[in-house]
A = this chain, B = another copy of it.
Amino acid sequence: MAADALSRVFSALADPTRRDIVARLAVADATVNELAEPYDVTVQAISKHLRVLEDAGLVSRSREAQRRPVHLEAEVFDLMTRWIERYRRQAEERYRRLDDVLRAMPDDVDPTPPAQTGAPA
Protein backbone atom coordinates (compact mmCIF):
# COMPACT_ATOMS: atom_id res chain seq x y z
CA MET A 1 0.00 0.00 0.00
CA ALA A 2 0.85 3.66 0.40
CA ALA A 3 2.47 3.65 -2.99
CA ASP A 4 2.76 6.84 -4.97
CA ALA A 5 -0.15 8.30 -6.94
CA LEU A 6 0.96 7.01 -10.31
CA SER A 7 1.35 3.48 -8.99
CA ARG A 8 -2.10 3.59 -7.48
CA VAL A 9 -3.68 4.74 -10.72
CA PHE A 10 -1.92 2.19 -12.89
CA SER A 11 -2.62 -0.50 -10.34
CA ALA A 12 -6.28 0.43 -10.14
CA LEU A 13 -6.68 0.16 -13.90
CA ALA A 14 -4.79 -3.13 -14.08
CA ASP A 15 -8.01 -4.94 -13.20
CA PRO A 16 -10.53 -5.62 -16.00
CA THR A 17 -13.53 -5.27 -13.72
CA ARG A 18 -12.32 -1.91 -12.50
CA ARG A 19 -11.62 -0.74 -16.03
CA ASP A 20 -15.13 -1.79 -16.96
CA ILE A 21 -16.52 0.15 -14.03
CA VAL A 22 -14.60 3.20 -15.16
CA ALA A 23 -15.94 2.73 -18.68
CA ARG A 24 -19.48 2.63 -17.37
CA LEU A 25 -18.96 5.60 -15.11
CA ALA A 26 -17.76 7.58 -18.10
CA VAL A 27 -21.32 7.30 -19.35
CA ALA A 28 -23.10 8.08 -16.12
CA ASP A 29 -22.74 8.15 -12.36
CA ALA A 30 -24.07 5.04 -10.66
CA THR A 31 -24.69 3.53 -7.28
CA VAL A 32 -22.74 0.59 -5.91
CA ASN A 33 -25.62 -1.81 -6.48
CA GLU A 34 -26.12 -0.64 -10.02
CA LEU A 35 -22.44 -1.09 -10.70
CA ALA A 36 -22.39 -4.53 -9.12
CA GLU A 37 -25.38 -5.85 -11.01
CA PRO A 38 -23.71 -6.98 -14.28
CA TYR A 39 -20.93 -8.97 -12.61
CA ASP A 40 -21.39 -12.26 -10.87
CA VAL A 41 -19.51 -11.22 -7.77
CA THR A 42 -20.95 -9.94 -4.52
CA VAL A 43 -21.67 -6.29 -4.02
CA GLN A 44 -18.99 -6.25 -1.35
CA ALA A 45 -16.38 -7.14 -3.90
CA ILE A 46 -17.46 -4.21 -6.04
CA SER A 47 -17.40 -2.00 -2.99
CA LYS A 48 -13.75 -2.97 -2.55
CA HIS A 49 -13.01 -2.24 -6.19
CA LEU A 50 -14.56 1.17 -5.77
CA ARG A 51 -12.37 1.79 -2.77
CA VAL A 52 -9.32 1.05 -4.87
CA LEU A 53 -10.54 3.39 -7.60
CA GLU A 54 -11.28 6.03 -5.00
CA ASP A 55 -7.83 5.71 -3.41
CA ALA A 56 -6.38 6.19 -6.87
CA GLY A 57 -8.42 9.34 -7.23
CA LEU A 58 -10.30 7.92 -10.19
CA VAL A 59 -13.73 8.14 -8.62
CA SER A 60 -15.43 10.04 -5.84
CA ARG A 61 -18.40 9.00 -3.79
CA SER A 62 -20.94 11.41 -2.41
CA ARG A 63 -23.65 10.80 0.06
CA GLU A 64 -27.21 11.03 -1.15
CA ALA A 65 -29.68 9.48 1.25
CA GLN A 66 -28.49 5.94 1.83
CA ARG A 67 -27.11 5.76 -1.67
CA ARG A 68 -23.50 6.55 -2.54
CA PRO A 69 -23.46 7.70 -6.15
CA VAL A 70 -20.08 7.03 -7.68
CA HIS A 71 -18.63 9.67 -9.95
CA LEU A 72 -15.72 9.41 -12.34
CA GLU A 73 -12.90 11.88 -11.80
CA ALA A 74 -11.24 12.02 -15.18
CA GLU A 75 -8.47 14.47 -14.30
CA VAL A 76 -6.27 11.73 -12.91
CA PHE A 77 -6.02 10.34 -16.40
CA ASP A 78 -3.77 13.27 -17.20
CA LEU A 79 -1.25 12.03 -14.68
CA MET A 80 -0.88 8.85 -16.68
CA THR A 81 -0.96 10.37 -20.13
CA ARG A 82 1.70 12.84 -19.09
CA TRP A 83 3.93 10.05 -17.86
CA ILE A 84 3.32 7.89 -20.91
CA GLU A 85 3.71 10.68 -23.43
CA ARG A 86 6.92 11.81 -21.84
CA TYR A 87 8.70 8.52 -22.30
CA ARG A 88 7.15 7.66 -25.58
CA ARG A 89 8.32 10.97 -26.96
CA GLN A 90 11.74 10.41 -25.46
CA ALA A 91 11.96 6.99 -27.04
CA GLU A 92 10.88 8.35 -30.39
CA GLU A 93 13.34 11.21 -30.12
CA ARG A 94 16.10 8.78 -29.37
CA TYR A 95 15.09 6.64 -32.28
CA ARG A 96 15.21 9.61 -34.59
CA ARG A 97 18.59 10.71 -33.22
CA LEU A 98 20.06 7.27 -33.69
CA ASP A 99 18.83 7.42 -37.22
CA ASP A 100 20.60 10.72 -37.76
CA VAL A 101 23.83 9.43 -36.31
CA LEU A 102 23.78 6.41 -38.52
CA ARG A 103 22.90 8.57 -41.50
CA ALA A 104 25.52 11.26 -40.94
CA MET A 105 28.62 9.71 -39.37
CA PRO A 106 30.80 12.86 -39.48
CA ASP A 107 33.61 13.68 -37.08
CA ASP A 108 30.72 14.30 -34.73
CA VAL A 109 30.36 17.16 -32.36
CA ASP A 110 27.76 15.19 -30.63
CA PRO A 111 26.58 16.35 -27.21
CA THR A 112 25.93 12.78 -26.18
CA PRO A 113 28.11 12.09 -23.10
CA PRO A 114 28.57 8.32 -23.34
CA ALA A 115 30.09 8.71 -26.78
CA GLN A 116 33.23 6.88 -25.78
CA THR A 117 34.11 5.58 -29.15
CA GLY A 118 37.59 4.28 -29.09
CA ALA A 119 38.58 7.78 -30.04
CA PRO A 120 42.26 8.69 -30.22
CA ALA A 121 43.33 10.96 -27.42
Q: Chain A interface (Cβ within 8 Å of chain B)?
A: 2-4, 6-7, 10-11, 13-16, 19, 22-23, 25-28, 72, 74, 77, 80-81, 83-85, 87-88, 90-92, 94-95, 114
Copies per assembly: 2
Question: When chains A and B are docked, how far (Å) is the Cα of A88 from the Cα of B6?
Answer: 17
Majority SS of interface residues in chain A?
A: helix
Task: Kindly report which residue of chain B lies nearest to residue A95, judged by CB atoms.
Answer: B74
- Known contacts A10-B13, A10-B14; 6 additional CB pairs below 8 A are A7-B14, A26-B87, A28-B114, A72-B87, A72-B91, A77-B88
Enumerate chain B residues within 8 angstroms of A26, measured Cβ to Cβ.
87-88, 90-91, 94
Q: Across the interface, do B28 and A6 meet the contact criterion of CB distance under 8 Å?
A: no
Question: When chains A and B are docked, how far (Å) is the Cα of A94 from the Cα of B72?
Answer: 11
Q: Across the interface, do B84 and A77 meet the contact criterion of CB distance under 8 Å?
A: yes
Q: A7-B16, A13-B10 are in contact. Are A84 and B88 (CB under 8 A)?
A: no
